[in-house]
A and B are shown apart, each in its own frame.
Chain A
Amino acid sequence: MINHQDRLISALGLSRYYGERCVVNNVDVVLRKGEVLGLLGPNGAGKSTTMQMLTGNLSPSEGEIQINTIDLLDEPIKAKQQMGYLPEQPPVYRDLTVSEYLHYCARLRHIPKAECRRMVAYASERCGLQEVSKRLIGNLSKGFRQRVGIAQAILHNPAVVILDEPTVGLDPIQIREIRRLIRELGKDHGIILSTHILPEVQAVCDRVQILNQGKTVFNNTLDGVESLEKVFFDLIFGADAVASEEVAV
């Protein structure tokens, strides 16, 4: 008997159609407490669509989603309170300073005014934003904007953090810091992250779910997986495609 209590996300039978085209086809996403789940797949596999459905930005054509036992479709406001989301493009206002923006985000998540300052300070510290807190977001580099995006996702201490390609545009030092941050957060939150960088998955994820053409083709822990790259290419192209590619190289 599976214990459903420690499931932070339980999304079963998710499907999404755009008109006739099926982008996500009967995908199950389950996330347990203290787990970092990596969502992989080639471009157009349905990763972002799945994440949009999990965060309530897109309603699934079929299937049900429960966040921390709260049904996302029935009680979206309560469910979203449990969730932090960083989309592909960090949703930052370029005309605000980092501190103004994070305070605004905190108030949007119903954090009481008295606690805002503490929460903002904590999130900026974790994402290394203290030195830039008075600067306009529009004047920051892409890496810092990305960090502001991560800071707003973890600001209200949500049970689930969903990050869509969080390390894009970061320098190697920042990538290492963000990975460490994700590992740390993974201890007491549940994290889903999508990425194209396979070593990153091996560095931070406990479990990997690979999507291809809207279907789950792999869903397992990384124990005993020698080369994720090989697994990935095998699943996407079939074994012979990998062989021919190696010849070509």
Chain B
Amino acid sequence: MSAIWVIANTEFRRMFLSPLAWSILAVVQFILAWMFLLGVNEYSLQTQSMAVGAEDVAGISEAMIPFLFSTAASIMLVVTPLITMRLFAEERMNQTLTLLTSAPLSNTQIVLGKYLSVLGFVLLFVGLVALMPVSLAFTTSLDWGQLAAAVLGLVLLLAAFSAVGLFLSSLARQPVIAAVTTFGFLLLLDVLYQSGNAQGSASELFVYLSAFGHFLSFAKGMFDSSDLVYYLLFIVGFLILTIRKLDNDRLQG
């Protein structure tokens, strides 16, 4: 257990030694803040004034949180591959993976350590995103339950993205290849969702398989344990594949 923590800790720090993680956080936060500002502006100037006297109007939580968190999810579809690409591919390229594979560690420890380091980044990112709706709490009352569900949903979705990225990085020898394949796979999940909802060819199965279908109910504030199980299975599945890949490296060379 302590070895997992040591790897996770060092990998997390190394992530922030290069400008990549910093610039990703800064750029994405800037874009999201801009969109959030636009959203709040529209709500306070238009939606609110039209809603005077009307019944059953969406509150600020209901209007802003699903919008903000699904935008964040779409942006992270592109950004997560950049974070996960270096995990194994860079070590392969620089031939530093031997340090971990010849240390007295199991492959499970190596994979979990690396995965936890990305999870740290995911938590940091989601925390920063969540600060925006929280800032509204100074002036209005928020639906904390909806915010909590959306935060949990985004963490699970990005954790699932990271698991895919980790696995594809373990297959690649160059970080760029890992990033491109991860992006392709995540886009495929998105396309599955779109085609599952397409008119005429709607398919429950496609929607179920896509990681996005399970995220949207979270973003709307609904916590469904079957969605939670979907993500956990998804993550565990890719982690096991990664461990198997490392075992296989030892056998195949």
A-B CB contacts (within 8 Å), total count: 72
Known A91-B97, A95-B17, A107-B6: A83·B251 in contact at CB below 8 Å: no
Residue of B18, B99, B251, B253 near A108 (CB, 8 A) is B99
Nearest chain-B residue to A54 (Cβ)?
B102
Residue of B2, B18, B105 near A95 (CB, 8 A) is B18
Q: Which of A7-15, A74-82, A127-135, A222-230 contacts B (4 or more CB under 8 A)?
A: A74-82
- Check: B106 CB closer than 8 A to any chain A CB: yes
Are A93 and B14 in contact (CB-based, < 8 A)? yes
Interface string of B55-97 (1 = CB under 8 A from A): 0000000000000000000000000000000000000001111
B98 / chain A contacts, CB cutoff of 8 Å: 57, 85, 87, 91
Are B104 and A95 in contact (CB-based, < 8 A)? no
- Check: A175 CB closer than 8 A to any chain B CB: no
A218 to chain B minimum Cβ distance, whole angstroms, is 26
Question: How big is the B interface, by class?
Answer: 20 to 34
Are B104 and A85 in contact (CB-based, < 8 A)? no
Which residues of A pack against B, CB within 8 Å?
A: 16, 18, 49, 52, 55-59, 76-78, 80-81, 83, 85, 87-89, 91-96, 104-105, 107-110, 152
Assembled-state Cα–Cα distance A55/B104 (Å): 10
Assembled-state Cα–Cα distance A96/B10 (Å): 10
- Listed from nearest, the 7 A-B pairs whose CB atoms lie closest are A91-B99, A80-B104, A81-B104, A89-B95, A91-B96, A107-B6, A108-B103
Assembled-state Cα–Cα distance A52/B6 (Å): 25
Q: Which of A49, A76, A91, A107 has the most CB of B within 10 A?
A: A91
Are B251 and A109 in contact (CB-based, < 8 A)? no
Known A108-B3, A110-B3: A152·B99 in contact at CB below 8 Å: yes
Are B14 and A108 in contact (CB-based, < 8 A)? no
A56 / chain B contacts, CB cutoff of 8 Å: 101-102, 250
- Check: B100 CB closer than 8 A to any chain A CB: yes
Nearest chain-B residue to A103 (Cβ)?
B10
- Check: B7 CB closer than 8 A to any chain A CB: yes
30 CB-based A-B contacts, threshold 8 Å: A18-B253, A56-B102, A59-B250, A76-B106, A77-B105, A78-B104, A80-B102, A80-B103, A85-B98, A85-B102, A87-B95, A87-B102, A89-B95, A91-B95, A92-B96, A92-B99, A94-B94, A95-B14, A95-B18, A96-B14, A96-B17, A104-B6, A104-B10, A105-B99, A107-B6, A108-B3, A108-B7, A108-B100, A109-B103, A110-B104
